Amino acid sequence: MKVLGVLGSPHKTGGSAQLLLAALKGAEREGAKTELVSVYDGEVKPCIGCIHDEEPQCKFPCIFEDYGKIILEKIYEADGIIFSTPIYWFAPSGQLKNLIDRMTSLENMVAYGEPSYLEGKVVGAISVGADEGGAWVGGYIITTMTSMGAIVPPWGIAYSHKAEKAIYDNKALMDAINIGILTARMIARLKGIPADLTFVYDIDLLETIRKEVILKLGLITPGREDYGKRIVKKSGI
Amino acid sequence: MKVLGVLGSPHKTGGSAQLLLAALKGAEREGAKTELVSVYDGEVKPCIGCIHDEEPQCKFPCIFEDYGKIILEKIYEADGIIFSTPIYWFAPSGQLKNLIDRMTSLENMVAYGEPSYLEGKVVGAISVGADEGGAWVGGYIITTMTSMGAIVPPWGIAYSHKAEKAIYDNKALMDAINIGILTARMIARLKGIPADLTFVYDIDLLETIRKEVILKLGLITPGREDYGKRIVKKSGI
Amino acid sequence: MKVLGVLGSPHKTGGSAQLLLAALKGAEREGAKTELVSVYDGEVKPCIGCIHDEEPQCKFPCIFEDYGKIILEKIYEADGIIFSTPIYWFAPSGQLKNLIDRMTSLENMVAYGEPSYLEGKVVGAISVGADEGGAWVGGYIITTMTSMGAIVPPWGIAYSHKAEKAIYDNKALMDAINIGILTARMIARLKGIPADLTFVYDIDLLETIRKEVILKLGLITPGREDYGKRIVKKSGI
Amino acid sequence: MKVLGVLGSPHKTGGSAQLLLAALKGAEREGAKTELVSVYDGEVKPCIGCIHDEEPQCKFPCIFEDYGKIILEKIYEADGIIFSTPIYWFAPSGQLKNLIDRMTSLENMVAYGEPSYLEGKVVGAISVGADEGGAWVGGYIITTMTSMGAIVPPWGIAYSHKAEKAIYDNKALMDAINIGILTARMIARLKGIPADLTFVYDIDLLETIRKEVILKLGLITPGREDYGKRIVKKSGI
């Protein structure tokens, strides 16, 4: 059971990195093997839309020999994928969007008589910013992923406005951990292994994972203004 | 295995009704018991946001005694829900939105120490219009549903711009049938019953269901300008 | 110069009412005559999509004799419209959506050889919630309005997550006041009257309008946790 | 009066290029000087979010010395900007998104005591694909632009699903031409020059501009299946 975290941020220790790491730690507790890659760790050339060329070449693997290709291969091999992006103007970062555009090479296998290579994979989405747009970003990513054939688990999006303090945003942190847990459990269920798909409220787990993330990323503990709020799952209304 | 179709259209035989019926017929082939309800068949009072009152009453069942309540009960009892709405200005119809707002009563059980009553249900979305907006509408609905705890199956959204001729839009029809099939199969898989989650291309099935829908809704067979196109799953790029 | 405020909330003194009132007070300072109506003050029947009937009747005035019709007439007479809605699942309230659907009767005059009755009106959008979705809601409303022929002024959307404390959300309050000011100034400019379209930072104006809104709505002054923050226009990145 | 066309497509003669050229020709008829640049004509490095660094450097000009910087300077100098992008998974191309992210350097001048450098510019958006998403893409772009301080003219978005045949999509072509005309006229009005802001229906103008675009881009005239349809402004309902 492999869960891949795809980071869309140039900041290695920022809010979207923090919540992604927390999600992966959630998945690990469910027995998943995890890996984290960042779209900023190498070149991700922009898609050239060759699917509309007279002789389309859009199939896996994508024609470009760059870091994007390496990430696409990891996506291909994963059972679950968790995207985490900074909110850049109500949308994923352009660099992550380049990768998503290039994922067409996985989906477009349908034009070659095969299923989409995303089909049946389980996908969640996290976004972090200092301003609005998290729901729009998360909604955008899962809409694209279901349109490539992926499955969205319960509570499949999480977001925070706390920017580099996202790790202290209890609601967002609990949501992110659940994306990890529920992605892993959904993979298990699809493999026929019993697993509960109920949202997990567990303050001890939250504190433990928070500490692990802080330690791992070398975060300096800031003022605690957002810390210790009661964890409540807020309704969207 | 119960799959509920929720129609958001005032037109009983229009495009969104046609594709919803096709989806339900897809689900029936997988052994689901289905039912179709329309938000226009009775009053659906607008949500009054009592969740923000000093003494919130937002829990299931919703306080209003109207047709909306009856639909909410059917949603509660279903294993899967397929929404189908006309595209009214890039969004679901206001009447369907009223129902979605009222679904807060199901989700907000989390404030009463219970799981969301949507948790683990499988949900897909269909939208039909004469203009743009289908992806936005579908994306909106599944974003809201995952945020209430529901699961989105592979290929969870379908849309057509063919308005009242949607039943002759082969791509959209195949997509809608798959929403029915894959919703039912996802429910089965979650119950531990083996079921393939691959997109189904089956021109015979498509033609059979098309005829059933035309017969059931009493549609007059129009000119065939959209009919008989090769079924291809088009990439979003 | 008439600016109409359309409230989409059942709460007369809630966050979306607060910021809408603030926006209208901004517009009044620029010489506009303002009025505030709420979609919850009467019945707004859902649109029945008669535009797709064999004999379409979709023209102004809309066929329904209800409170929605009265609001549509006020929209018709206004030079500017400011919508303010609670964020109900990342979207306007269903009741407001019903009104927006019914605004088709104004726009669809294009089918009768006239310009859209929205053409050239100036429109802004405010949204308030306890959770995410403000950018999505605002974006949705202005996308629909430009597609009906309206003009969006600079900084045409504002949002707050402070729910019933939105009046103490300085950034959102300054944004809302600017929607009022800039809507009025844009109307003036279009009439050939000189007017500056620069975002107004004015802490005195903000405090004055805040007090007026609190007094007008009879708000009890809450704890000041959000009060007095430095006003900064935050980038969306 | 300068209107800049920003192309987000790798295809120089594809649908988004066709409609962008048509829009610019519309603007030229209103006296605008126009220029077309493509984000694929050079490198547009991804934004590194330095706005969140301890010592933020996010101001105009952006720190990167690349082709993106040249485009940002052209945006800075323009009175109006028309974006035209292929629809890549319901959103602008990643390469265009990189440019939009980098436009933060123009907007973030507000952090340095200046107005946003986008403030008061007039912006429209065109998108073209083979599948859905045009309204979402257009809505996304104008939402971001109003949030940077730009003005959206009446009928500010246009879209086509005709891909490389977009020039034969009469509705989209008339819409695109209007974006050019109305962007130019809005600029004029803001400068105090009288100009009508009514949507222009003009079949002769449409045919003339179509021919000019076909000639300029060297398009081979295809089968006329989409050609000659009655021009109607379709309602979004």
Mean pLDDT value of segment B14-24: 98
Q: Is the Cα torsion angle A171, A175, A176, A177 positive or negative in sign?
A: positive
Mind listing the pLDDT tens digit for each residue in A81-118?
999 999 999 999 999 999 999 999 999 999 999 999 99
With contacts defined as CB-CB under 8 Å, which chain A residues touch B140? 139
Q: What pLDDT, on the 0 to 100 scale, is given for residue B55?
A: 77
Show which of residues 120-179 on chain A sit within 8 Å of chain B, judged by CB atoms: 120, 135, 138-140, 142-144, 146-157
Q: Identify whether the C-beta of residue A58 lies closer than 8 Å to the C-beta of residue A104.
A: yes
Mean pLDDT of chain B: 93
Residue among D49, D89, D163 whose CB faces A52 most closely: D163
**How many CB contacts within 8 angstroms connect chain A with chain C?**
60
Residue of C nearest to B15 (CA): C52
Chain mean position to CA A8: 9
Q: Is residue A169 part of a domain?
A: yes
ipTM surpassing 0.90: yes
Mean pLDDT value of segment D171-187: 98
Question: What residue numbers bound the domain in which C139 lies?
Answer: 2-217
Mind listing the pLDDT tens digit for each residue in D28-52?
999 999 999 999 999 999 999 998 8
Whether the predicted pLDDT of D208 surpasses 80: yes
Whether the predicted pLDDT of C233 surpasses 60: no
Question: Nearest C-alpha of chain A: how many angstroms from D32?
Answer: 29
How many angstroms separate the CA atoms of D210 and A213, rounded?
A: 58
Residues B236, D129: C-beta atoms closer than 8 Å = yes
Whether the predicted pLDDT of B233 surpasses 70: no
Q: What pLDDT, on the 0 to 100 scale, is given for residue D222?
A: 54
Residue among A89, A95, A164 whose CB faces D144 most closely: A89
Mean pLDDT value of segment D192-218: 96
Whether the predicted pLDDT of B150 surpasses 80: yes
Whether the predicted pLDDT of D71 surpasses 80: yes
Token digits for D190? 């803001």
How many angstroms separate the CA atoms of A212 and A25, rounded?
A: 9
Q: What pLDDT, on the 0 to 100 scale, is given for residue B227?
A: 38
Whether the predicted pLDDT of A228 surpasses 90: no
Residue among C40, C47, C88 whose CB faces B88 most closely: C47
Domain of C63, CATH number, reads 3.40.50.360
Whether the predicted pLDDT of A128 surpasses 80: yes
Q: Is residue B190 part of a domain?
A: yes
Residue of A nearest to C128 (CA): A237
Residues D136, B236: C-beta atoms closer than 8 Å = no
Amino acid in position C81: I
Helix axis angle, C15-29 to C203-217, nearest 10°? 120
Whether the predicted pLDDT of C156 surpasses 70: yes
Q: pTM (2 decimals)?
A: 0.95
Mind listing the pLDDT tens digit for each residue in B86-95?
999 999 999 9
Q: What pLDDT, on the 0 to 100 scale, is given for residue C225?
A: 44
- Give every CB contact of residue B197 below 8 A, 6+ residues apart in sequence: A119, A120, A151, A190, B153, B154, B182, B185, B186, B189
With contacts defined as CB-CB under 8 Å, which chain C residues touch D236? 104, 107, 144, 147-148
Q: Identify whether the C-beta of residue B17 lies closer than 8 Å to the C-beta of residue B217.
A: yes
Amino acid in position A79: D
Token digits for C199? 């975002």
How many angstroms separate the CA atoms of B52 and D115, rounded?
A: 37
Which residue shows structure tokens 């002769």? D204
Q: What are phi and psi of D127, to 5 degrees?
A: -145, 145
**Could you tell me which of D112, D119, D184 has the C-alpha nearest to residue C196?**
D119
**Secondary structure class of B33 (helix, strand, coil):** strand
Structural domain count, chain A: 1
Per DSSP, the residues of D118-148 read TTT-EEEEEEE-SSS-HHHHHHHHHHHHHTT
Amino acid in position C39: V
**Secondary structure class of A36 (helix, strand, coil):** strand
Mind listing the pLDDT tens digit for each residue in B156-199?
999 999 999 999 999 999 999 999 999 999 999 999 999 999 99
Whether the predicted pLDDT of B229 surpasses 50: no
Residue among D119, D143, D237 whose CB faces C47 most closely: D237
Residues B131, D234: C-beta atoms closer than 8 Å = yes
Q: What pLDDT, on the 0 to 100 scale, is given for residue B232?
A: 44
Mean pLDDT value of segment C164-180: 97
Question: Nearest C-alpha of chain D: how many angstroms from B136?
Answer: 6
Confidence grade of residue D20 (pLDDT, cut at 50, 70, 90): very high
Question: Nearest C-alpha of chain C: how many angstroms from D190?
Answer: 6
For testing contact with chain C, the best of D98, D231, D235 (most C CBs within 10 A): D235
Residue among C87, C129, C234 whose CB faces A131 most closely: C234
Residues C136, A90: C-beta atoms closer than 8 Å = yes
Residues A136, C131: C-beta atoms closer than 8 Å = no
Residue among B86, B89, B134 whose CB faces D132 most closely: B134
Residue among D11, D99, D143 whose CB faces A52 most closely: D11
Mean pLDDT of chain C: 93
Residue of B nearest to A231 (CA): B111
**% of chain C at pLDDT higher than 70:** 93
Q: What pLDDT, on the 0 to 100 scale, is given for residue D55?
A: 77
Token digits for D221? 């005239």
Asked, as a colleague might, if the bond just before A61 is cis with ω within 30 of 0, I would say: yes
Question: Nearest C-alpha of chain D: how many angstroms from C192?
Answer: 6
Residue of D nearest to A164 (CA): D52
Mind listing the pLDDT tens digit for each residue in B132-149?
999 999 999 999 999 999
Q: Is residue A136 part of a domain?
A: yes
Question: Nearest C-alpha of chain C: how many angstroms from D72?
Answer: 17
Residue of A nearest to B48 (CA): A237
Mind listing the pLDDT tens digit for each residue in C23-55?
999 999 999 999 999 999 999 999 999 988 877
Mean pLDDT value of segment B212-219: 97
Q: What pLDDT, on the 0 to 100 scale, is given for residue D237?
A: 58
Question: Which position has the higher pLDDT, D236 or A202?
Answer: A202
Beta bridge partners of D33: D2
State the DSSP code for D225: T
Mean pLDDT of chain D: 93
Q: Is residue C235 part of a domain?
A: no
Mind listing the pLDDT tens digit for each residue in A19-77?
999 999 999 999 999 999 999 999 999 999 998 887 778 999 999 999 999 999 999 99
Q: Is residue B234 part of a domain?
A: no
How many angstroms separate the CA atoms of C174 and C152, rounded?
A: 18
Confidence grade of residue C226 (pLDDT, cut at 50, 70, 90): very low
Mean pLDDT value of segment D203-223: 90
Q: Is residue A130 part of a domain?
A: yes
Q: Is residue B32 part of a domain?
A: yes
Mean pLDDT of chain A: 93
Number of residues that this document lists for chain B: 237
Q: What are phi and psi of A44, to 5 degrees?
A: -125, 95
With contacts defined as CB-CB under 8 Å, which chain C residues touch A90? 135-136, 139, 236
Residues B91, C97: C-beta atoms closer than 8 Å = yes
How many angstroms separate the CA atoms of B192 and B197, rounded?
A: 13
Q: Is residue A224 part of a domain?
A: no
How many angstroms separate the CA atoms of A126 and A16, rounded?
A: 7
Mean pLDDT value of segment C67-79: 98
Show which of residues 73-92 on chain A sit within 8 Å of chain C, judged by CB atoms: 86-90
Mean pLDDT value of segment D89-99: 98
**Could you tell me which of D175, D183, D108, D98 has the C-alpha nearest to residue D147?**
D108
Helix axis angle, B170-190 to A170-190, nearest 10°? 90
